[in-house]
Structure 1
């Protein structure tokens, strides 16, 4: 079965508010903590981020196209939906923070450019890169063969998704389709993980197993309430966001992690307009950061180290076309 050519849907703003509320009153960050402090979750959600920074590398900065170098800034697009710890608003509801923002800052540093962060809807993100309004998107974008028609990619994370259950659930491990046969599973519509579940359900039914009951909700608050009430058995979502919620809330846990492409390797990448000349500098900057260690520091900071790559690649094989 073919893959949906869209990235995994980010958690809506309401979901972010819910997660951060849990961190303030459910064993997470202390609501009265001073700026820059960390709660029990270990994550800093204040606007005072004290980000990890990198030194400029002149030979890599020289690879940046002249029209961008002349502006003195790298215009970086993020999805405004928010999905901690990927990209989301800090406690001031204004400052964009997260692993994607931190990686973009490091790349801007290496390229000797200021980072100009812009947030927009997921759909508009691609149009803004295509039009040249944004130089690059750092927004948990999965490389697909269809997207490579219009965009160039420089990878910086492995794409994984995870199964999440309520603490104490009878479902303790998911490693193959049969593990979830007959269960009620929540998933975001039009995502890579939905396609995985559709394929798994087809395999289960061909093997004579019970079909899945796929459930769709408008926001994370709804599917987490459904999980706690027992209306659904399990949720399949992006590993960083699932892990963040489980750690901050203490009410859920991960019971299985697979590739964002299911049986196929999937990768997250910086995305820029095809053939605009920027991809070589982005790739070189990421590889430099991997070498010098700041890349790993950022992933460790946001507990996304399991998705680290040993090297950035330009336009690797992407998820297949439909």
Structure 2
């Protein structure tokens, strides 16, 4: 069955979001880092890892400037027609993301204002298919869900994992595999392949994330077996946890695989010592566009994602950010997620 004729939207510049924590301020914090991992250095001379675009050295292969020349695609009227009338009439897709400190997911370009990364690129493709202008809003993790609950934002594109608990309040349209990584200083012989391997260590993690839930589960298992506890410390942005990692305040950070792989590749200061599914042992975790439950948008998002998967622009975006191995064959609505814990 043929579709109505497609219209190519005018090329858009990325909307500028109000930074939750500008790169300049975070870089100033990074300048206070402790001596470098290999040998002693003056902290005033060794600034340590910086949290966003400026952290990548020249030749790293990533375009970190504000003029992204994003990959675009055509509007598909029959998919756009699935968008709730209120959003269609407004003409914008209001996208919630974290505060821009997690390359290559979502982070600030070298102008400290323009949000870039794989999450913004995928959101932009979806908006293209839906015939909408994308507007990005950056904030801390918890406020993504507050904004979705209130209806202030239409959708979260921010490395959000499908979980059974979240499915009670949100609808999901998947677009990437969710893999996690344990990142530690480079050159060590410690490896994490099972829960027992984190016993007696201090790990950083983001509060309210699925990796926090996994780490808490591991710690409970270890304590039940008489092993040493894992000390868990919480961080909200890359500047803080990389300072903690470089200064030895934590032994490793447990977070999204794309962020860890990017940081390890462009700095050489860290390495990935363990990888795990974001869904834990029972399911393969998946990252999804997230909307308030039953607000009518998820089917349009799902169809738009399958459109860009099918036309090849999705693969080009993942290739652009070095994440081809996290591709999904199709977007699904509300698939099995990270199991709930407790009673």
TM-score interval, smaller chain = 0.7 to 0.9
Which of residues 309, 313, 323 is equivalent to 1:304?
323
Q: Does 1:237 align with 2:255?
A: yes
Change (3 A) 1:129 1:184: closer
Counterpart Cα distance in 1 of 2:201 and 2:187: 16
Q: Structure 1 residue 130 and structure 2 residue 136: aligned?
A: no
Q: Which runs of 5+ in 2 are unaligned?
A: 1-19, 31-48
Q: Is the deviation greater in 108-117 or in 119-128?
A: 119-128
User: Within 5 A, what are the aligned runs for 1:35-46?
Assistant: 39-46=58-65
Partner of 1:140: 159
Normalized against structure 2, the TM-score is what?
0.79
SS at match of 2:338: coil
Q: What is the aligned partner in structure 2 of residue 112 from structure 1?
A: 131
Q: Does structure 1 residue 178 correspond to structure 2 residue 196? A: yes
Rounded Cα–Cα distance in structure 1 between residues aligned with 2:107 and 2:180: 19
Compute the displacement of 1:197 (Å).
Answer: 2.1
Counterpart residue number, 1:193? 211
Name the structure, 1 or 2, with higher relative contact order (CA <8 Å, separation 6+). Answer: 1
Partner of 1:254: 272
Distance 1:116 1:12, change over 3 A: closer
Output the CA distance in 2 between the equivalents of 1:217 and 1:116. 27
> Which residue is equivalent to 2:188?
169
**Aligned equivalents of 1:288, 1:82: Cα separation in 2:** 29
Residue in 2 that maps onto 1:159:
178
Q: Which residue pairs with 2:102 in the alignment?
A: 83
Structure-2 residue corresponding to 1:320:
339
Change (3 A) 1:316 1:13: farther
Number of the residue aligned with 2:81? 62
Which deviates the most, 223-232 or 127-136?
223-232
How many angstroms apart in 1 are the aligned matches of 2:115 and 2:75?
23
Asked if structure 1 preserves the Cα contact closer than 8 Å seen for 2:22 and 2:112, the reply is no
Give 1:128 deviation, angstroms: 2.1
Number of the residue aligned with 1:47: 66
Q: Work out the CA distance in 1 between the residues paired with 2:178 and 2:74.
A: 28
The total of aligned residue pairs comes to 300
212-221 or 70-79: bigger deviation: 212-221
Q: Determine helix, strand or coil for the equivalent of 1:321.
A: coil
Separation in 2, partners of 1:80, 1:307: 23
Residues 23, 248 of structure 1: 8 Å contact kept: no
Q: Distance in 2 between matches of 1:264 and 1:81?
A: 31
